[in-house]
Amino acid sequence: MRSHTWTTTEPGRLDRAVKSALECSNNQARKAIRTGKVAVDGARQLDPGFTTAAGSRVVLDMAAPNPARTEPFGLKLVHRDDWLIVVEKPAGLLSTPTGREESETALHGARMLAGDGRAVKVVHRLDKETSGLMVFARGVPATRALRQTIDGGRLRRLYHCVVDGAPEQTEGLVSSMLVRDTGGGYRGSRRGTLKVRPRTLPDPGPMPGSGKLAITRYRTVARDDDHTALEVKLSTGRTHQIRIHLAELGCPVRGERVYARSKSAPRQALHAGRLSLPHPETGEMLTFQSPWPADLTDIGPTGRDWRASSR
């Protein structure tokens, strides 16, 4: 059997649906899923425990390539040259090891995609549950150049997200002094430092006292009764910055579990959709874009064109 298509009649685990439809063993069903042979509603699904909805269209294609070879850990290669590797990171994958000797991270996958044994270095990170574009440096000169690019504010990042509710203003510049512990064991803005200004103003400077300056710009793309799709641009890259700022504005990212209790999405609805930077050797401006992910297609208004301008 080369291919098989069917529609599920009730919600349930994907591996059980595959086993039932093909009359195969548990191991055979799970192997087919993990090796990239199964798609649900047009999107390849690698998790045997994924829950399918009633009416989902499931396609088994035994000729589909094994992503373990072409897309290690679900990582997709976007660009590769002697200086850079740009990838799309899936949600659920750590950017780098946390110290517990994880062997499956975006860094490990980028090293596999490099293929030549040359050092691959981290220059920025995405949260584990955030999907989208990441850039890695190849070799020491590239690492130094990219870190200078980041320190100089020339690495431009645009994120797409869907939030619960809506910000009070349809667009704005959010700034605050972020601290590691606001008193409850969580990161957040130091009391009295959260400010919202017109989005077109220049970046503000830091405020006196503890914390690190964080600057986030947002723009409303689409709305419905309960949710809002935003484009978010970073001037700084603090840990959890977008999630913290939007939660503190009262419109947390859908699926947020730490800074708000939003359980209305399978994971946080945050995606790094655009990345621009000067090439470290030539200075040519490179721009990469990543579409809104399939697993978040039905999460609120997605502003289907997701205009990627940073106006």
Same domain, residue pair 111 and 32: no
Q: Does residue 292 lie within any of the structural domains? A: no
pLDDT in single tens digits along all 311 residues of the chain: 578 899 999 999 999 999 988 888 999 999 998 888 898 988 888 888 888 989 999 999 888 877 666 788 889 999 999 999 999 999 999 999 887 667 789 999 999 888 777 789 999 999 999 999 999 999 999 999 999 999 888 999 999 999 999 999 999 999 999 999 998 889 999 999 999 999 999 999 999 999 999 999 999 999 988 899 999 999 998 999 999 999 999 999 999 989 988 767 888 999 999 999 999 999 999 999 999 998 888 887 765 555 443 33
Determine, yes or no, domain membership for 286: no
Predicted confidence at residue 79, as pLDDT, reads 92
Question: Is 144 found in the same domain as 75?
Answer: yes
Same-domain pairing of 61 and 96: no
The answer to whether residues 184 and 251 belong to one domain is yes
Question: 107 and 176 in one domain?
Answer: no
**Catalytic annotation, residues:** 127
220: CATH: 3.30.2350.10
Domain match, 210 and 178 both: yes
Pick the last residue of a domain from 39, 66, 93. 66
Residues 165 and 148 in one domain: no
Residue 289 in any domain: the answer is no
Q: Are residues 78 and 59 in the same domain?
A: no
Long-range interactions of 35-44: CB distance < 8 A, separation 24+ = 35/66, 35/67, 35/68, 36/64, 36/65, 36/66, 36/67, 36/68, 37/61, 37/62, 37/64, 38/14, 39/64, 40/14, 41/294, 42/294, 43/294, 43/295
Given CA atoms 290, 293, 299, 302 in this order, what sign does their dihedral have?
A: positive
CATH number of residue 41's parent domain: 3.10.290.10
Task: Tell me: do 172 and 266 sit in the same domain.
Answer: yes
Q: Are residue 246 and residue 181 in the same domain, yes or no?
A: yes
- Of 28, 48, 66, which one is at a domain's C-terminal end? 66
Q: Note the pLDDT of residue 68.
A: 65
Check: CB of residue 106 under 8 Å from CB of residue 87: yes
Q: Where are the strands (E) in the chain, listed by range?
A: 3-7, 12-13, 38-40, 43-44, 51-52, 57-61, 76-80, 84-89, 120-122, 131-138, 156-164, 171-179, 188-189, 195-197, 212-223, 227-234, 270-278, 285-289
Residue 88 domain-assigned (yes or no): yes
State the pLDDT at residue 307: 44
Residue 248 belongs to some domain of the structure: yes
The reply to whether 277 falls in a domain is no
283 domain-assigned: no
Number of domains in the chain: 3
Do 224 and 173 sit in the same domain of this protein? yes
Is residue 49 assigned to a domain?
yes
Residue ranges making up the domain that contains 87? 71-152
